[in-house]
Structure 1
Amino acid sequence: MHSAEVIWTCDGDFASGQYSRAHHWRFDGGIEVAAAPSPMIVPPPLGCAEAVDPEEAYIASISSCHMLWFLDVACRAGFQVKSYRDTAKGALRQTDGIAWIPRVDLHIAVVFSGETPDEAAHMALHDKAHHACFIANSVKTEIVVNLD
């Protein structure tokens, strides 16, 4: 079982809507992260631009899960990964009046040491990682891998 605790305390006038939406996420390992709505949705001072917002966390979880599976798949295939960087991007869209993130683009740069797979073999590793990723298997968002 995985868990996360979301902690918020009213700071302001709740009845008028003039209260802070800043809160914290506490994870089962003990780490606590400042969280708030996207500043594009609730600007400061009622939000907190420095905090992680749910949309960023969603995109980061997709990217992180993909990376972890890619590292496993590459290792099992005999490749040595020296570094991995992904600049993942997604945007809220409206579909039939419902806001959601329909697509996340992973912009991945991998540096290998030793043997380097050609582009087709590299993409095949990412395809295997994508199909193994727990998060990708749990969402309806299209996830697109772009090699940088």
Structure 2
Amino acid sequence: MAKYHALIEWEASATDDVPGGKYGRGHRWTFDENVSVPASSSKHVVPLPWSVEAAVDPEEALVASASSCHMLTFLYLAAKAGYAVQSYRDAAVGTMAKGDDGRVQITGVELSPDIEWQGAAPDAATLEQLHHDAHDQCFIANSVKFPIEVTK
């Protein structure tokens, strides 16, 4: 159907001690149309100063991807059902812990969308169904093994 490309680039500095584990984890993600994002390991995984606090880490990018996919699918389904969303804000949270297999992994993502509507909002049952259908049709949710739950 489609292929998605990302260029990931990292280079050691002259002062890095790579064999000793003392090297910067800052790197760059470059996507289509040369959109470039500073990236790094999470400070929760590799302590500062070896991580870059002002950069996106893979774990938070995964949480953002799950939230973004759910939102985009939700917006499409809501519009198709005749509801107009004015704004959508989600303070998504991912949890990293040991999984059932003993390996550290993202074990779940909680979505907490705050939605403002133009005109009439769907009733609670319809809203729940829209979220259910958005989850069911989201490409990212269909690609990961951890649960993604809407909590709001």
2:120 is the counterpart of 1:115: yes
Equivalent pairs, count: 147
Residues 16-64 of structure 1, C-alpha deviation per residue, up to 9 Å, x if partnerless? 1111111010012211111111111112211101110000000000000
Where structure 2 has 5 or more consecutive residues not aligned to the other structure, the ranges are none
Report the aligned-residue RMSD.
0.9
TM-score under structure 1 length normalisation: 0.96
Q: 1:34 aligns with which of 35, 38, 53?
A: 38
Kept in 2, the 8 Å contact 1:5–1:27? The answer is yes
Q: Secondary structure in 1 aligned to 2:76? A: helix
Q: 1:2 aligns with which of 1, 4, 10?
A: 4
- Per residue, is there more strand in 1 or in 2? 1
2:22 is the counterpart of 1:18: yes
Q: Distance in 1 between matches of 2:47 and 2:107?
A: 23
2:94 is the counterpart of 1:90: yes
1:52 corresponding residue in structure 2: 56
TM-score under structure 2 length normalisation: 0.93
Q: Distance in 2 between matches of 1:113 and 1:14?
A: 54
What is the aligned-residue identity percentage? 45
Runs of 4+ in 1 over 3 A off after TM superposition: none
Where structure 1 has 5 or more consecutive residues not aligned to the other structure, the ranges are none
Q: Distance in 2 between matches of 1:29 and 1:44?
A: 31
State the shift of 1:97 in Å.
3.0
